[in-house]
Structure 1
């Protein structure tokens, strides 16, 4: 095994740091490399989850088990199912209270490469170093601004009911490569799917005032159920944006929901919305813009699924 340690000093209570690390449901918004987390088991002290995360320019997925010890301010982890070139990886988060207040956060990794290949070991070392430094910086920023954090977050959703089939609605959302021909606010789409169900997309959208902006996202697709995504290139007003498209059979057809979680970048508010703008204004602006585009997509998905059964020409 190869061992490596990273650490950072945090001017915040140890318990606040522990709370950020222990809550995996918030990792996609809190941690830049994390795309999506599916919790498999959780009994309060032990948990298993599957995670999708960026490793360089690739999306990797693995299953991990964690043991949580809030009294000792320690969380250990071990990958149960790793993805090549990683053969095995384990480690720990240790939070050490500082005498004068605050704490030191230490992140340790032990890993092994498939066949101990030197090139693979170098790749793992580089990715582990980059992601560890990014995650520690994210945690430091979040813990040191915890009082304002809730004000910066927005969670909202839009839903329509479609008189159609789940498979047709899901197909419309899944085949995003066709969105420039199907959606008025999408002017360009560059989508790749290197392996089934994992899509990387770069999209140009047009706002109501005619301006364009480019976003880049990773999408994890669960057929005929949902598509979760994370924007890896976000508009200047945001630090993070994740979402889920969910389709489910209900009485009368299909319920289709677009759910968003957004974190506002407070230092960008004045530059984007004007000197007198507040975080509350930014929250409303982001919600309106995203909800407008989501509802347009939902209505077009509805029209598609409720349209002619022969869509070969669409």
Structure 2
């Protein structure tokens, strides 16, 4: 006899996703005593938690970003290593989002609940590939859960940069996206020189310390951009990209899956680190859940798609 799914196993609170049965939070938005962190992006990993359970790469990123306030104590876990928080068995599986990103499998009373965090299915040499695992409940992000959304191939997208002879200011998130772009540019735009904003460099160094090879790049030098008006790509974080709105002698490009962030740029570069509609459907096929609970986005179209076939519960 299969134990029933506990509908309140994970609840959405003001602080974030809470598991009352284990008295811990998943990616809390405010500091808590027990925090299970899926990955190190700022909207999933805040500073000041007492005990943080995460992968090694996530710890390193958090320690760089938050310094001594990153956490009082880190419990570093390898992928597939089982550990226990107040009677709930937990293990991490690669999420394919950024280096160290993890899906969180929680087992309680013989029912398996899988929290995806942010994830993607596409190949990415700068992070661990996603690893599917069976679960009774799939708790999935639905950032791009729209049948109309299909992310183009990242390798074909990056080749667009070869059509631009002028220098390019390329905006991208400092952690995850920037490292992926450096690798893609080196492979598919070999004639381009990559100049990196200094705020991105510490994350690159952590990637390399963890054994990720991205190819050639150098720290941004203003003289290079002034003396060479072609062939350079200046990789900058979003805040810098937005502050140089009137930058001259450069083509402005921002790498994202969001259409609204492409507006006004010289070239559209649709490279997303989130799963698209087909990816969510594929994940559901692989995980084979009895129920799907949705987060971060709109789960209504997913619920309509499965209607009588599968229970889809919207948490957000």
Coarse TM-score class (shorter-chain normalised): under 0.3
Higher helix share: 1
Please report the TM-score for the alignment, with normalisation by the length of structure 2: 0.24
Please report the TM-score for the alignment, with normalisation by the length of structure 1: 0.24
Higher strand share: 1
